[in-house]
Copies of this chain bind each other. A is one copy, B any other.
Amino acid sequence: MTTAAPLTALALNCTLTPSPGESSTEIMTDQVLEALGKHGVTGRSIRVVDLDVMPGVEMDMGAGDAWPGIRQEMLAADILVIATPTWLGQRSSVAQRVMERLDAELSETDDEGRPETFGKVAVTVVVGNEDGAHGITAGLMQGLNDTGFTIPANGGVYWNGEAMTTTDYKDLDETPSAVASTMQKLATNAAHLARLLAQQGYPPPA
């Protein structure tokens, strides 16, 4: 059966807080990975700020650049989870750094003009104490789509609090029900779509 095929997910946690600091983004990311786990997806999360992802838009920016290693894990995974906190209503500088590095995928295509990301599914996780999630989710989906990823229905989950307040996701007593149900839909859809595309990838354009 379709559902039996094992899948893998790589989550890039783009918090500004180095390990071992607490991270709302990590908590939400772990919940998404757990939801994916129910669908036969084995996931792993990287806290990007702990590594030296160098500025630039090449695959490899030279000695000490951590991106090539992350990229290998991404290419080995079926599902990419981009998770970011919200600062001034925008994705973090770490998330933008990751997207800049994905830009290189646009020019790394096979003989048919298909990037190596084709056939992979991407989903988004956005968290903040108030406002910004729609705009950030939009920018991530567009950038991920442009660099070759497919976005499943309801492919984004987010949480933020009331306007101009300061509660963090990590300080909530429990997962809000709307967030929890969105995560279930996201995971169900991402796993389903990744399986379909693993079995029948996009043909070359004609």
User: Which A positions have Cβ atoms within 8 angstroms of B?
Assistant: 2, 16-18, 38, 49, 55-57, 87-94, 96-97, 99-100, 102-103, 113, 117-119, 130-135, 137-139, 141-143, 145-156, 158-165, 176, 178-179, 181-182, 184-185, 187-189, 192-193, 196-197, 200, 202-206
Judged by DSSP, the binding face of A is mixed
| B89, B141, B185: the one within 8 Å of A135 (CB) | B89
Give the CA-CA distance A135 to B178 in the complex, in Å: 22
- Note all chain B residues with C-beta closer than 8 A to A153: 117-119, 145, 148-150, 202
**Cα separation A90 to B147 with both chains bound (whole Å):** 14
Give complex CA distance A139, B132 in Å. Answer: 11
Given contacts A38-B206, A87-B57, contact A158 B185 (CB under 8 A): no
Q: Which residues of B contact A193 (CB under 8 A)?
A: 150, 202
B192 touches A205 (CB 8 A): no
**Complex Cα gap A164–B200 (Å):** 29
Do A155 and B145 touch across chains, with their CB atoms under 8 A apart? yes
Q: In the complex, what distance in Å separates the CA atom of A93 from the CA atom of B88?
A: 14
Q: A152-B150, A159-B163, A188-B205 are in contact. Are A142 and B141 (CB under 8 A)?
A: yes
Inter-chain CA distance A159–B165, complex, in Å, is 10
